[in-house]
Chain A
């Protein structure tokens, strides 16, 4: 009988580390409700109520939602197509493409802000949600992430599947996708979070206040309350938990990453 040794010190260390990871989020949520007033602890959701009743803030939240969900939906198929090419295709071009993808991840927005503004005006994408969605959806993060995951799937599987059918779509559907579902989930979450966090592009590429997302309007204030910070983070947390529940419900066979086993 194999007895698993439980190493207490390292267990404590790991638990402490995980608590530290969670602590800032919990702290923000905590301080948004609990305040110190005249030396006494006060629990109130008043600030939340004020914010939820602010029509313009809610409109901005809706805009953020539109942009983030749109980005998610655009990023998924496009990243998948690109990742398939980068991991399964052949040719020197792949190296150049990967290099460009990584380069653009490193370059701060200021490096291409001005010509992008001019380009968008010329294309008619200026001051539209579509423009921002395209900007977020074409970001290189997804492609690089999926490339890594697809690479870990053995080539033999691809070969075997391509014996049966020459349709790339079908191969992907049958062979690749089921194995990278965790990666897709991560991709969805990351692209949502990136789009949710978009500040400078949203400022530059949008003109009308009705279209602004909440990341911009919150940044306008010098002093944002804890409640504002918490409210801003909440949709991401909710989506995260939602994704978790959905994914844990399903059983995944032979996922390339066993984190959900």
Chain B
């Protein structure tokens, strides 16, 4: 026990430098932005009135709403695609290695290099229908980020205990049933992880969206990041910080709920 404590203290000390650096360069500035929420109230208005005005703003609400809605679409499509790809890779193990290598490449390619191609391909301009724009953005998202999720799921698959699968097969389990009732539950952890990665990548979709549509995308694709970026240019620090604070609060709520659910599950399975 004592050795373990010493080890963990040593590990903590080792990690102090990156932690401190990370706090200084990322977390502290974020905290300072939150401070603006209280100090940068526009002149001639009370704080509560200002907050109220922002929360009631149509585009502020739309930003969050679209973030969630489009997020469901992206995650749904991305996860299904990743799951399908991983299954195909399980079926053809000799293709699995090159597959992973190929699927990681889009993550590395700068979006800027392909944004022009996407615009041409989907004929995206101001007059395009929002469905086409959404489709283009969705395709770009899947192209870029599905690879990591698929690799994680594939790795999970191949680490499964053969015996359990064989046993299930002998019991007369059909292909689909085998997949959904046996495999998936066994790789629950990695499913969660791949979803997490997909979610984190989804939040970076603003960059892709900006390259494709500019500052003012179709109404249905207007995300809270657009709100923040546009107000930054309008030099409205207050609005930027309120949006940032709201986003952070939502994220924390979401992860808090997720963590609680996971904890419950863990307790249940024990």
Interface hit among A34-42, A54-62, A114-122: A114-122
Q: Is A17 an interface residue (CB 8 A)?
A: yes
Report yes or no: A21 in contact with B97, Cβ–Cβ below 8 A. no
Closest to A240 in B: B108
Judged by a CB distance under 8 angstroms, whether A148 is at the interface is yes
Contact check, B28 vs A114: say whether CB atoms are below 8 A apart: no
Interface membership of A66, Cβ < 8 A: no
Closest beta carbon of chain B to A219's beta carbon, Å: 7
Of the listed residues B10, B103, B111, B112, the one surrounded by the most CB atoms of chain A closer than 10 A to its CB is B112
Contact A134 B109 (CB under 8 A): no
Return chain A residues, CB-CB under 8 Å to B11: 84-85, 88-89, 168
Q: Residues of B contacting A93 with CB < 8 Å?
A: 12
Within 8 A of A (CB), among B1-57: 3-4, 6-8, 10-12, 14-15, 17-19, 21-30, 32-33, 36
B100 at the interface (CB under 8 A from A): yes
Residue of B nearest to A89 (CB): B11
A78 at the A/B interface (Cβ < 8 Å)?
yes
Residues of A within 8 A of B102 (CB): 18, 21-22
Q: Which of B6, B98, B228 has the most CB of A within 10 A?
A: B228
A-B contact count (CB 8 A): 239
Contact A259:B88 (CB < 8 A) given known A107-B30, A135-B25: no
Contact B109–A107 (Cβ < 8 Å): no
> Bound state CA distance, A88 and B8, in angstroms?
7
- Beyond A99-B255, A108-B206, A110-B225, whether A81 also contacts B15 by CB under 8 A is yes
Interface digits, A1-41 against B, CB 8 Å rule (1 contact, 0 not)?
00000110011011101101110110110010000000000
- Find the B residue at minimum CB distance from A219: B112
Mask of B92-109 contacts with A, CB within 8 angstroms, 1/0: 100111111111111111
Contact assessment for A138 and B248 in the assembled complex, using a CB-CB cutoff below 8 Å: no
Chain A residues with Cβ under 8 A from B193's Cβ? 148
Shortest CB–CB separation between residue A230 and chain B, in angstroms? 7
Q: Is the CB of B105 within 8 A of A97?
A: no
* Residue ID in chain B nearest A14 by CB atoms: B88
Contact A229-B12, Cβ < 8 Å, known A22-B105, A82-B19, A104-B26? no
Distance to closest chain B CB from A206 (angstroms): 16
- Verify if B212 is at the interface (C-beta below 8 Å from A): no
A259 & B97 in contact (Cβ 8 Å cutoff): yes
How far is it, in angstroms, between the C-alpha of A59 and the C-alpha of B235 when the chains are bound? 32
Is A128 among interface residues, defined by CB-CB distance under 8 A? no
Query: Considering the complex, which residues of chain B in the window 149-199 have a beta carbon less than 8 Å from any beta carbon of chain A?
Result: 151, 155, 158, 193, 196
Per-residue CB proximity of A143-171 to B under 8 Å, as 1/0?
Answer: 10000100000000000001000101000
The minimal Cβ–Cβ distance linking B245 to chain A, given in whole angstroms, is: 9
Q: For residue B231, which residue of chain A has the nearest CB?
A: A110
Question: Secondary structure of the A side of the interface?
Answer: helix
Q: Looking at the complex, which one of A17, A89, A106 makes contact with B8 (CB distance below 8 Å)?
A: A89
Is B89 on the interface with A (CB-CB < 8 A)?
yes
Task: Answer whether A138 and B108 are a contact pair too, CB < 8 Å, given A78-B17, A113-B232, A168-B7.
Answer: no
Stretch of B72-80, B113-121, B128-136 lying at the A interface: B113-121
Flag if B32 contacts A103 (CB, 8 Å).
Answer: no
Instruction: Give the residues from 59 to 82 in chain A that come closer than 8 angstroms, CB to CB, to chain B.
Output: 78-79, 81-82
| Chain A proximity of B155: nearest CB distance (Å) | 5
Q: Which residue of the partner chain B has the closest CB to A135?
A: B25
Residues of A within 8 A of B244 (CB): 107, 110-112
Q: Assess whether A259 is in contact with B100, with CB atoms less than 8 Å apart.
A: yes
Q: Is A260 an interface residue (CB 8 A)?
A: yes
Given A81-B15, A196-B110, A90-B237 contact (CB < 8 Å): no
Judge whether A233 is part of the interface by a CB distance below 8 angstroms: yes
Chain A residues whose CB sits within 8 angstroms of the CB of B237 once the complex forms: 114
Q: What 10 new A-B contacts, CB under 8 Å, besides A91-B8, A99-B252?
A: A14-B89, A24-B114, A25-B114, A89-B8, A108-B206, A112-B33, A135-B25, A197-B110, A237-B109, A259-B96
